[in-house]
């Protein structure tokens, strides 16, 4: 399993790169880009995905066609599974050749704890609130839940369907069991990846692609058409 990410500071820089990159991606990868809240993040995420697939031996002519579920989740019909995550100034893509994955990321920040209580079981909420760092543990639990939801392609689940229970490397969401693993990123980020069929994750390879995108953006852009 590979997880690639970029961290950026200037939105103008990201927008300029995305403007170029959009038209270099395969046609099927360009669908609905501008219906997104932050289309430039979506474009950069797909550039990261393209770069990862080129490293796996694909070229422009052999890239798989990107299709979409009724919920709008993109997917390939071959054995390549992927999922994107975005949060403020970080963009990630996870790619697996073994099984479907979900990935989510959040930043460490002050949050109104009480507004999240409805999403957790009583026992789970008590565990979070009684911990030495409730905010940290709540954010970590939240990204775990969201990774599982994204694995299923679920959006805007009703409150009564989002009760969760986390135990070791397992999480139960809406009556379903998933497995999760923390992704090692810089300290201010919390990231989890979720799978459905195994409790044993193979080594997760994490790569920071920021320099390739920001300092030598042309190399990533030209790789799209290589």
For the chain, the straight-line distance linking the first and the last C-alpha, in angstroms and rounded, comes to: 24
Indicate whether 182 and 160 sit together in one domain.
yes
Indicate whether 42 and 78 sit together in one domain.
yes
How many CB atoms lie under 10 A from the CB of residue 15?
A: 14
Indicate whether 197 and 218 sit together in one domain.
no
Q: Could you list the residue range(s) of the whole structural domain that residue 128 is in?
A: 100-201
What number is the average pLDDT over the span 175-193? 89
What ranges make up the beta strands (E) of the chain? 2-7, 67-68, 74-75, 81-87, 90-96, 102-107, 164-167, 170-173, 176-182, 189-195, 205-208
pLDDT in tens, 3-51: 999 998 767 777 878 887 887 889 899 887 877 778 889 999 999 999 9
pTM value is 0.86
CATH number of residue 89's parent domain: 3.90.470.20
Indicate whether 175 and 107 sit together in one domain.
yes
pLDDT in tens, 62-82: 999 999 888 778 999 988 999
Indicate whether 84 and 112 sit together in one domain.
no
Indicate whether 30 and 81 sit together in one domain.
yes
- Asked whether 194 and 180 are in contact (CB, 8 A), the reply is yes
Determine the Cα–Cα distance for residues 47 and 6; give it in Å rounded to an integer: 11
What's the pLDDT at 159?
44
What number is the average pLDDT over the span 130-144? 91
Indicate whether 183 and 212 sit together in one domain.
no
Choice between 132 and 218, residue whose per-residue pLDDT is larger: 132
What number is the average pLDDT over the span 109-113? 89
Tokens of 10: 């200037």
Number of domains in the chain: 2
Average the pLDDT over each of 33-42, 51-60, 126-135, 209-218 and give the range with the smallest value: 209-218
- Asked whether 137 and 166 are in contact (CB, 8 A), the reply is no
């Amino acid at each position: 399993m590979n997880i690639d990410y970029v961290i950026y500071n200037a939105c103008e820089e990201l927008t300029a790169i995305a403007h170029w990159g959009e038209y270099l991606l395969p046609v099927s990868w360009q669908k609905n880009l501008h219906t997104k809240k932050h289309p430039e993040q979506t474009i950069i995420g797909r550039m990261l995905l393209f770069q990862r697939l080129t490293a796996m031996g694909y070229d422009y002519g052999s890239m798989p066609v990107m299709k979409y579920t009724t919920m709008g989740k993109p997917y390939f019909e071959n054995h390549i599974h992927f999922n994107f995550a975005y949060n403020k100034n970080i963009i990630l893509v996870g790619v697996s050749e073994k099984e479907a994955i979900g990935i989510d990321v959040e930043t460490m920040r002050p949050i109104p704890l009480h507004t999240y209580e409805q999403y957790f079981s009583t026992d789970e909420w008590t565990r979070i609130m009684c911990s030495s760092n409730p905010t940290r543990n709540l954010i970590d639990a939240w990204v775990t839940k969201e990774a599982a939801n994204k694995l299923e392609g679920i959006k805007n689940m009703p409150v009564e369907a989002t009760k969760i229970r986390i135990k070791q490397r397992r999480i139960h969401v809406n009556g379903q069991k998933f497995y999760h693993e923390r992704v090692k990123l810089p300290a201010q980020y919390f990231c989890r990846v979720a799978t459905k069929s195994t409790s044993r994750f193979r080594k997760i390879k994490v790569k920071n692609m920021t320099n390739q995108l920001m300092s030598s953006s042309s190399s990533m852009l030209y790789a799209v058409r290589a």
